[in-house]
Amino acid sequence: MADTRFYPSIPSKKLKTDILSTDSTFVLRDIKWYTGSDSVDVNLTSTIFGTGNVGYGVFEPATARQEFFTFNPTNMATAATTGLTIIARGLPWGSDYTTSSTTRQFNHASGSSVLLFTNAPDFYNQFSNKGDDETITQTWTFTAPNYPRMDSAAVAPTADEQLATKKYADDLAIAGAPDASATVKGLSEIASDAELAASAADGSGNTTAPLVAHAASFNTTSTANKVPVANASGVLDDGYIALTTRGDLVTRDATGLARLAVGAANRYLTTDGTDLAWGGANLDEANTFFGATDILGAEAETLTALSGNANALHLHG
């Protein structure tokens, strides 16, 4: 919003006529403001004071008859003919600024000095003081991001006309909301990576709300305490299941998934009924045997004694 009150610098003026201590108007000898660069006098007008309709002045400054007053500058153009209207006279030389007193009102003779829009005590009453309680009568607009703010000791508002802080609004927004569940929408708490890795129970974090995973807790590459996610090709990074070498197999041991390294050449995969392992027999010997024996037209017999030793190979020519 535009300013409504202006505070021009005005040279000292003289009273055109006497005024009594009870008068409510005064007339100036002239309304000259300044002489322009073109040597033309510029007169005082009401517009240079804004639209506040109040001015501040002092009769006979720096004398025993000094008197502070306020006036209406609306008729400034006729201040040298019909005069200006006094709003209040005999104002204090200090606080409380606005209380008139007849003991501070004097008669002032024609030719007495008059200062208009001087730094009278009541003039300063129009400005806010950071150490005082103030009543603001116009709109104050704050340019972002320079918003008004409370200190860290700000408390919740208790009266309808008091302002609320952002913290109060944030607390109010979640106050009374239930914790989320599979059947109730509500509040949840983002779990840390460590809490996810430990399968921390709901309510074991910093609040009573259930713990949920954040997007940052997921990863397509093997990373400690991260939730595995398939990559763009729909494939899970083999680092998540500890495969490091071509030919590795995934098995499960007594505690969980485990890597079974590729066996030596021509070894076979066997089991002891519990875990997998690469067999100790060398299949190269069987290859040598069968490669050196003519078994053309051979017919294999069924060996029924599977638990015994098969020491003979029966061939039928």
| Confidence at residue 80, expressed as pLDDT on a 0 to 100 scale | 95
Which residue, 275, 251, 270, is CA-closest to 261?
A: 251
Which residue, 279, 315, 312, 281, is CA-closest to 299?
A: 315
**Whole-angstrom distance, CA of residue 48 vs CA of residue 107:** 29
Q: Which two tokens stand for residue 200?
A: 């921390």
Whether pTM > 0.75 for this model: the answer is no
Task: Report the DSSP beta bridge partners of residue 252.
Answer: 257
At 223-244, the pLDDT tens digits run 888 888 888 888 777 777 777 7
Q: Domains of the chain: which residue ranges?
A: 13-124, 179-236, 242-317
| Confidence at residue 83, expressed as pLDDT on a 0 to 100 scale | 95
SS3 string, the chain, reads CCCCECCCCCCCEEECCCECCCCCEECECCCEEEECCCCCEEECCHHHHECCCCEEEEECCCCCCCEEEEEEHHHHHHCCCCCEEEEEEEECCCCCCCCCCHHHCCCECCCCEEEECCCCHHHHCCCCCCCCCCCCCCCCCCCCCCCCCCCCCCCCCCCCCCCCCHHHHHHHHHCCCCECCCCCCCECEECCHHHHHCCCCCCCCCCCCCEECCHHHEECCCCCCCEECCCCCCCCCHHHHCCCCCCCEEEECCCCEEEECCCCCCCCEEECCCCEEECCCCHHHHHHHHHHCCCCCCCCCCCCCCCCCCCCCCCCC
Which residue, 51, 184, 179, 59, is CA-closest to 113?
A: 59
Res 133 pLDDT > 50: yes
| Confidence at residue 22, expressed as pLDDT on a 0 to 100 scale | 97
- In this prediction, residue 125 has a pLDDT band, given cuts at 50, 70 and 90, of confident
The pairs formed by 245-254 with CB atoms below 8 angstroms and a separation of 24 or more are 249/276, 251/275, 251/276
At 28-38, the pLDDT tens digits run 999 999 998 88
Res 303 pLDDT > 60: no
Res 197 pLDDT > 90: no
Do residues 122 and 68 lie in contact, with contact meaning Cβ atoms separated by under 8 Å? Answer: yes
C-alpha atoms less than 13 angstroms from C-alpha of 287 in its C-beta half-sphere: 6
| 45-59, 94-108, 229-243, 268-282 — most confident range | 94-108
